[in-house]
Chain A
């Protein structure tokens, strides 16, 4: 499929995307977490781009972040310090975990991009006052963006932006649904490129490409099925993992990842007051473990997702040194065990994947389910 090539190229070289955007008079603002309100960044005339680690060897970041900091956070800092992110015009740090909190401080002190903002979201998402606060934070962020772009973000610009992101996210959701019905329509590594690319590429291009992909895969006739699997964790940014899963006889049919369903699920109502609608979506979206909506929200969600997708098993993919996911794993496992849903934990380092060991473990897991 011709469209896929564009995604694969984009994720391999986000810098070239940023340069192209500059030609279109859109400056690129990088962000570090799926709670970054892309809709606002775009409405202000900027190009929002999620940052991933290029997985380069840690060298310069070593003198800022100790070895017990996760590879994603260290990797992104390394990229910045080594000049790999010089194409950025700014960065946004939504408050996430303790590691990103300190990365924000180090970034603010050490890096020299034009724009910088902390978007200090509430950590609890189950009270009216927290929702009001989130709204206040989004308004404050709007003002920061307006100062940077020198113009007001009009209500209609925000509405248009919301509609655009809705279109992108709705198509991703459709793609996931189609894949769940007919796994194999796309390779895991291709879906990874599409989702990741959708956080990196020109949004005007995405609204053309994604519906085209959806329509092409809708016509694919039923393919061989493997063991149906759901992934759960923070990010899964190693395409190799998808290949290994497929070689071991599995197909991914859904995910609870922040580079997946947690990010794109939850359409923003387009007929409501845009700022209110935006607040509600970020407040009510599928929760990240660094935030609190209830003590059992994530356990219930993973069981629901596994059942909806008729999964044979769940693979927990957790970045080493990731506290929020590490703390949630035992109880989420317990929720799945109670329902008789088989699961396995894989701890990964974003920088070095032990493929041999991983495929052995996954093959064993596929035999068990």
Chain B
């Protein structure tokens, strides 16, 4: 028994505690922004945050907050409050929880600090456009829309020109709101740091290609918070350096995250925040490790377009060609690359009622993966924050059957 505990302790990723501390400090800073004469900008998860960092504005992410609400199992109550306000329960649960939270100041941290401005980049969905309009009316603050047209098949010259122009408009917007002029030298520095952070995040994610994997996608969902919220700061760079070291150390010492890793799985779509623990142990019981996912890699997937020495010019393409803003066939190609890179035995897709651009097209990706990569695919119907869309017994039966198929195929 004692040996087992010691073994379990050894398997834990020690950087997790540090990460929690960093996030706590970050939220305390954000909450006390007013007292410190700092401005707060709410920004979408895929938005260009670097100019905010260069302007010393504190970025706050309603989507990260949504994830926290989901993990704390407070999603249902806040979703229902939004429904009482007239928002259909078919709408995105992140948006619903954020909209009601702004009013009732609920959730695990009592609501987010009020924004001085809103930055909405629609590279992830059209929902954020509506969501940020709602918050712009509620808080009566300026809204900047960073419009990144969908690249169904190409990043056309028209799109390139339009998005590049908006970077200048974005900077002009920030200068107007802050009444300060933009420091291009500082921007260049922040750009380099952001690039470095994304590169490190990619390296951390890549470590799971090792068999056995030193961490799971469930850990990545957790460690993701920094590359989202503190991208462009040394805090993220320093942390990911340490995390990378820890992962390398684990690999060296043969420490796996799933005790008897037999099967390696790939996850698609946002996490089911309120069921992470259950799902994690469910797969672990089958000796299956979710080694990678299409979600957390979105924060480094467009690195190839970014030039750290010409950051502002290159992010037009980098921010436009992210995973969700490309065609379904290109998404399938990326999935297949991941399947090869991580040596994947099965693909688990979360069909997420809350995220239409992520979920529609999944059935086509599923077929492409089944035929090209020749691995079984499981689709789970759920919602990232609203537990009412999740049926544990049904999902459990399906996971068991899926693992059975993988086992037979081995």
Contact = CB atoms under 8 A, between A and B. Distances in A.
A206 to B, nearest CB: 32
Contact of B156 (A68, A103, A140): A140
Contacts of B131: 327
Interface in A308-365: 318, 320-321, 323-324, 326-331, 333, 345, 347
Contact of B130 (A103, A133, A327): A327
Interface stretch (B81-89, B213-221, B246-254): B81-89
Interface residues of B, number: 48
Contacts of A130: 147, 162
Interface string B358-380: 01111110000000000000000
B351 interface: yes
A323 B92 contact: yes
Contacts of B129: 123, 290-292
A323 B360 contact: no
B360 A109 contact: no
Contact of A295 (B126, B133, B362): B133
B209 interface: no
A218 B126 CA distance: 43
A127 interface: yes
B152 A104 contact: yes
A296 B161 CA distance: 28
Given A290-B126, A327-B127, A102 B361 contact: yes
Contacts of A110: 364
Interface in A66-106: 66, 68-69, 95, 97-99, 101-106
Contacts of A64: 363-364
B357 A98 contact: yes
B356 A133 contact: no
Interface centre among A105, A127, A347 (most CB of B within 10 A): A105
A57 to B, nearest CB: 18
B336 interface: no
Contacts, number: 146
Contact of A102 (B145, B153, B159, B357): B357
Given A95-B150, A133-B161, A289 B127 contact: no
A133 B162 contact: yes
Interface in B57-101: 85-88, 90-92, 95
A64, A101, A321 — which one has the most chain B CB atoms within 10 A of its CB? A101
A98 to B, nearest CB: 4
Contacts of B169: 127, 129
Nearest to B90: A321
B149 A124 contact: no
Contact of B327 (A105, A292, A330): A105
A9 interface: no
Contacts of A292: 129, 133, 145
A98 B126 CA distance: 6
A291 B364 CA distance: 27
Given A68-B353, A327-B91, A105 B152 contact: yes
Interface residues of A, number: 53
B329 interface: yes
A241 B362 CA distance: 34
B272 to A, nearest CB: 15
A123 B126 contact: yes
Given A109-B329, A323-B356, A118 B152 contact: yes
B126 A106 contact: no
Given A66-B359, A347-B88, A106 B149 contact: no
A106 B328 contact: yes
A69 B356 contact: yes
A323 B354 CA distance: 10
Contacts of A188: none
Given A102-B357, A104-B152, A295-B133, A129 B328 contact: no
A98 B127 contact: yes
Contact of A103 (B85, B165, B360): B360
Interface in A207-228: none
A108 B166 CA distance: 29
B149 to A, nearest CB: 4
A64 B361 CA distance: 7
Nearest to A62: B363
B338 to A, nearest CB: 19
A211 B141 CA distance: 48
- A-B residue pairs, 4 tightest by C-beta: A327-B130, A330-B86, A102-B360, A133-B162
Interface of B: 85-88, 90-92, 95, 122, 125-127, 129-131, 133-134, 136-137, 143, 145, 147, 149-150, 152-153, 156, 158-159, 161-162, 165-166, 169, 327-329, 351, 353, 356-357, 359-364, 381
Given A98-B126, A130-B162, 5 more contacts: A102-B356, A118-B150, A133-B161, A330-B85, A333-B86
18 contacts: A68-B356, A95-B150, A97-B126, A103-B360, A123-B129, A129-B162, A133-B161, A137-B158, A290-B126, A295-B143, A318-B88, A323-B92, A324-B130, A326-B87, A327-B87, A327-B127, A327-B131, A330-B85
Interface of A: 63-66, 68-69, 95, 97-99, 101-106, 108-110, 118, 120-124, 127, 129-130, 132-133, 136-137, 140, 289-292, 295-296, 318, 320-321, 323-324, 326-331, 333, 345, 347
